Structure 1
Amino acid sequence: MIRIGCGAGFSADRLGPACDLIEHGRLDVIIFECVGERTLAFGHRDRLANPGKGYNAQLESRMRRILPLCRRHGTKLVTNMGAANPKAAAEATLRIARELGLTGLKVAYVIGDEVTDQLSPDTPLWEGGTVADVGLKLVGANAYIGSDALLPAIQAGADVVIAGRVSDPALVVAPLRNHYGWAEDDWTRLGAGTLAGHLLECGMQITGGYFADPGRKDVPRLAECGFPIAEIDPDGGVVITKLAHAGGCVTPMTVKEQLLYEVHDPARYLTPDVTADFSRVGIEEVGPDRVRLSGGSGRERPPELKVTVGFDGGYLAEGGISYAGPNAGARARLARDVLEERMAETLGNDAKLRLDLIGISSLHGTATEYPSDAQDVRVRAALRSTDRDKAETLLWEVESLLCCGPAGGGGYRGAITPSVVTYSASIARDRVPTRFEMEAA
């Protein structure tokens, strides 16, 4: 029985529970899933500015804490923290390993997922139109590669495997294929392994974190929530659990929510490894914080790979001002209307403006405004543009409301930050060859 833990479910996840998991979880492997579409695009921006960057911003902090623990407990690490620059991520990891005296630690990095040079202005996008139609500077494009890309590095004895845009479940499927010797066309087991990877990939979502909703779905000791562990048998059957002393919970309800998370069609979940089928999965509670899943399956993998295409979104200007007390809602609406009128002449085809009333209606871009008697409202103005002058103008207009009215505005804050935009495309599998390099500390 192989035990695999998840130490991160997104780029900036907590570190403490991951260290706890390595220390006490008796793990064979720990995965860190740290790449999303936007984080990858930002990685490309960072690498363009500095060829030595482009990997996960928390990589050094994480490696300094977890490498000694992994060495002590014999736990292998598989991660996509390489983002847009796996080679530089591996070099940083080796440097830290040498500083810590971890002689002989083998660090491998996987490359080949970047396909920027294979895209053309005419490349069609899933959202409609072409790369050229986006009208923004292309910063990078990466194919979702699978366990085939990771497996050779694991088989070569790597203690740490660092990839870029590998599919999330593949971080688990590759160690499973190595441990149990699953064939690359054993669709049933690959589908079951993908189920295990999908359940682990989002960290605390399955141990109660993102599940928590007080009074409806209560979770014990949420501040001390632990990361999940998967015990996976040779046929892909899996038990999800956590450390007994950690906060949070693993129940059929937490498992069901994660099972369906981001799965558009449970009978046809497309991944680089397999077309997974979760439609006949059985879920059984087999003990405190222990849930068994069986029945994961799959069919032949798709002939094409998904590609994340990142563009430089220019500048994101975001400013806010608050209104409180009687009639605050009406004053906030007036401030919003003033901003809309004042910015009308500044906007062009390259700029997108959004105005929200936080406390009345602000989360859903398609939602209609609902009635409110709120007496504490914040006007939020956001503008995305390739023209910094337009971004500056928005902040100027928001701050001007302090004296230009309506009455009672205060607490202005404003900032301009870089932004990215992502789209999706497809590429033939045979156009994405991968390889790995390995070096010992």
Structure 2
Amino acid sequence: MSVPAPFPQRVRIGAGAGFAGDRIEPAIELVEKGELDYLVFECLAERTIALAQGARRVDPDAGFDPLLIDRMRRVLPAAIARGVRIVTNAGAANPLGAAQAVSAVVRELGLGPVRIAAVTGDDVLDVITAGDFPLIDHPGSSRDLSTIISANAYLGAAPIVEALAGGAQIVITGRVGDPALFTGPLAHAFGWSFDDAERQGRGTLIGHLLECAGQLTGGYFADGARKQVPGLARLGFPIAEVTADGSAILTKVAGSGGQLTIANCKEQLLYEILDPAAYHQADVIADFTTVRFDERGPDRIAVSGGSGRTASGSLKVSIGYDDGFIGEAQISYAGPGAADRAALAGEIVRERLALIGAPVDELRIDLIGMDAVDRTQVVGTPREVRLRVAARTRSEQAADRIGSEVEALYTNGPFGGGGAVRSTRAVVAVASTLIPATLVHPRVTIMEA
């Protein structure tokens, strides 16, 4: 009879990406030098999966993060050699397709056999279109939205635990809660129960601190001379050394850029948190109010505390829907009187759109560098200004007219305009709702390459 392996004393888990377009070099560094047990790539923002659903409508084999294949080619040789297991939500709208594509990479590189798991079941489009659910960030309900193109529920960590327990060395999900990408490996490694709200809350804390990768080591923290961070050009991504009680040491690869300080950790702790006492996730309502950070040496911060209580039983769903088009164009003015000429050009476009009866729902005219962000005070008279005109419309043709009118300023507006650019794009907007967790049925598919 086989004897179950004992739980480890600690687990080292690294953050290999904080968004879809993140750098790959820090992840390679983590795999090669970080002595990791797990590497996590967090690659899904709110709109990303809706855009991926659109891509899959055009090509059924698409719909996952287009950088996934390159990431795997570059990290898998070292990860497989060192026994580092990978978890990522880069499956986006097509985790099964992503797993099959990664299987092809494994075979191409001669790394097999490798077990790859795809987690599905977050796609709840049928549930949303069949029902009527109140929106939590917009007025009205799901029935009030225009053409719905996607609806994905934020799954918890349970299917990731199932995949790892099934021997998966690579786990590819669609939409899951960002911290669940980290609590899944921790719950698997330490045998945490999903009824243990305290451990789940602490795991969620660690996942939340790591999920944005470089933000914990100084990216987004840096602020010129006021908050200086060394080595941002070769920023190292964070590692958590986690023990079974859910406490951890946060660190990074020695010699990598960036920094790990208590100030960094406090900022990331509060990042995108509405209520630190009630951070709602699929598996737990985490409480961060008792979190404590202690410095244990250069780039070594101990994190302890944190707790949780039973989850609400509801899952958040991101609904992607078509919301018209945006036409945008820009043109520059330089030299004496640049700001006045740019302002005149903007007024000409505004009047032209009214004269031709352009069906514009929303119009913005900005002078970048003067009032595009802060309209409360315009200081000085800059000698170079860039005019930006953007409008939301119901039709692509109307949106394209914005670019035409700005380009016409070359010879029909004030002198000296140059460098005009224009674009027209469809708008995929996102709204959120809550549905009962009982309506969502995660599935794990394991394949071997």
Q: How does 1:30-429 map to 2 (within 5 A)?
A: 30-120=39-129, 122-126=132-136, 127-134=138-145, 136-344=146-354, 345-348=356-359, 351-363=361-373, 367-368=375-376, 370-429=378-437
Deviation at 1:354, TM superposition (A): 2.3
Answer yes or no: is the 8 Å Cα contact 1:316–1:416 preserved in 2.
yes
The equivalent position to 2:23 in structure 1, one of 14, 37, 42, is: 14
Q: What TM-score does the superposition give when structure 1 sets the normalisation length?
A: 0.96
What is the alpha-carbon distance in structure 2 between the residues aligned to residue 363 and residue 10 of structure 1? 24
- The yes-or-no answer on 1:439 pairing with 2:447 is yes
Deviation at 1:340, TM superposition (A): 1.8
Answer yes or no: is the 8 Å Cα contact 1:273–1:301 preserved in 2.
yes
Answer yes or no: is the 8 Å Cα contact 1:329–1:372 preserved in 2.
no
* Cα root mean square deviation, aligned: 1.4
What is the alpha-carbon distance in structure 2 between the residues aligned to residue 433 and residue 297 of structure 1? 27
Answer yes or no: is the 8 Å Cα contact 1:328–1:377 preserved in 2.
yes
Uncovered stretches (5+) of structure 2, i.e. residues with no partner: 1-9
Deviation at 1:369, TM superposition (A): 5.3
Q: Percent identity?
A: 46
Uncovered stretches (5+) of structure 1, i.e. residues with no partner: none
The amino acid across from 1:105 in the alignment is V
Answer yes or no: is the 8 Å Cα contact 1:146–1:272 preserved in 2.
yes
Deviation at 1:67, TM superposition (A): 1.3
Answer yes or no: is the 8 Å Cα contact 1:252–1:283 preserved in 2.
yes
Deviation at 1:117, TM superposition (A): 0.6
Answer yes or no: is the 8 Å Cα contact 2:359–2:394 preserved in 1.
no
The amino acid across from 2:141 in the alignment is T
What is the alpha-carbon distance in structure 1 between the residues aligned to residue 324 and residue 97 of structure 2? 25
Deviation at 1:299, TM superposition (A): 0.8
Answer yes or no: is the 8 Å Cα contact 1:40–1:83 preserved in 2.
yes
Q: What TM-score does the superposition give when structure 2 sets the normalisation length?
A: 0.95
What is the alpha-carbon distance in structure 1 between the residues aligned to residue 176 and residue 431 of structure 2? 17
SS at match of 1:198: helix
Answer yes or no: is the 8 Å Cα contact 1:346–1:390 preserved in 2.
no
- Structure-2 change in CA distance of 1:43 and 1:346 (3 Å): farther
SS at match of 1:37: coil
Once the two structures are superposed, what CA deviation does each residue of 1:307-360 show, in whole Å capped at 9, x if it has no partner?
Answer: 0000123433221001112221121112122222222354437x4332221011
Pairs aligned (count): 437
